[in-house]
Amino acid sequence: MRPVGARVGVPVVAKLANKQVIRVRHQNRDVFLVGTMHYNPVSIAKARETVTELNSQGKLGALVLETCPTRWQKTLSFQPPGSFMHALLMNEFQSASEAAPDVVPILGDMRIEDLAGKLKASLKETTLDILIPTRWNSYRTDVESAIDGEIKAANDEGVTEFGDIFDVRLLANVPVSLFRYPLAWMLKSPALMVPFATFWLTIAALPGIVESIPDTVQQTTAENVVTDVFLALDILQISLLTKCFLGVLLRDRNDILAKSISDACDDIDEEQSVVAILGAAHLNGVHRRLL
């Protein structure tokens, strides 16, 4: 009997040299978690390869994508197959879906509308955690708990090392991801980019403010003030992003993704499999929930 979480069973998985595809037995079905770097050509190929192989064997019962109806419909309407935008912004979700056109994908992620509200609430809560000393221990506990549950592997079959998921070919294509990912957000949701861009540009401009201060006796005081503000914003920024990332963007979404995969298992025969296309950061958290 194969151990739960073994990464063998079908040719496409047996050929892997790393853990970009993790197999886990859930409700007597095979579930293949494909960990990706969004918009990376290597991840796009891996998603397509996994779906194509299982579909050709007649074992593909369900395909779960880390997206929601709003985002998916926007993607399909903005970059339909054959269009210039389709080639420019090709991603692992479209690649997987197009590899099995007869399988209706399950949009298994948190709704973007709900995500926005949760992020807003998390930012407010985290700001209070940082500003109120009596809440510092609560902040630390939340972060440590999230790291244990969402980042660390549940067993040796999870992603235990950086090299497990980020191989040489994937890393070589990181520039493509760094170009496509923000470009896709900017083109599809320009309104969301304005506040983010304003915040980052303001942070980036602070060092220049220091250099522009006149060379006078007051410069030392002014420099100290700006430097202190710059440092405080850095700390606040990192603290806010850390808890929001671990709490809302990982933990809460992993709950929903894992449930979507589990529900998909209920709807297929035992000899069929579920393929879930996920960002690599979700692999261990979802894997842990399915074990």
Q: Specify the 3-state DSSP secondary structure of 26.
A: strand
- Locate tokens 């660390």: which residue? 152
Q: How many CB atoms lie within 10 A of CB 130?
A: 16
Report pLDDT digits (tens) over 83-115.
Answer: 999 999 999 999 999 999 999 999 999 998 898
Report pLDDT digits (tens) over 20-54.
Answer: 899 999 999 999 999 999 999 999 999 999 999 99
* DSSP structure class, residue 271: T
What does the alpha-carbon distance between residue 249 and residue 141 come to, in Å, rounded to a whole number?
A: 18
Residues 74 and 116 sit within 8 Å (Cβ to Cβ): no
Q: Specify the 3-state DSSP secondary structure of 20.
A: coil
Provide mean pLDDT across the span 117-134.
83
Residue 77 backbone zone (phi > 0: left; psi -120 to 50: alpha; other: beta): alpha
- Locate tokens 């710059």: which residue? 230
For residue 156, what are the contacts with CB-CB under 8 A and spacing of at least 6? none
Percent of the chain scoring above 70 in pLDDT: 76
Residues 261 and 274 sit within 8 Å (Cβ to Cβ): yes
pLDDT on residue 109: 95
Report pLDDT digits (tens) over 203-261.
Answer: 555 555 445 545 554 445 555 555 555 545 455 556 656 767 777 788 899 999 999 99
What does the alpha-carbon distance between residue 34 and residue 51 come to, in Å, rounded to a whole number?
A: 10
Residues 64 and 93 sit within 8 Å (Cβ to Cβ): no
**Residue 31: CA count within 13 A, CB half-sphere:** 31
**What does 88-106 look like in DSSP terms, one character per residue?**
HT--HHHHHHHHSTTSPPE
Residues 31 and 24 sit within 8 Å (Cβ to Cβ): yes
As a residue count, the chain comes to 291
How do 21-26 and 29-36 pair as beta strands?
antiparallel
What pTM value is reported for the model?
Answer: 0.79
How do 273-279 and 21-26 pair as beta strands?
unpaired
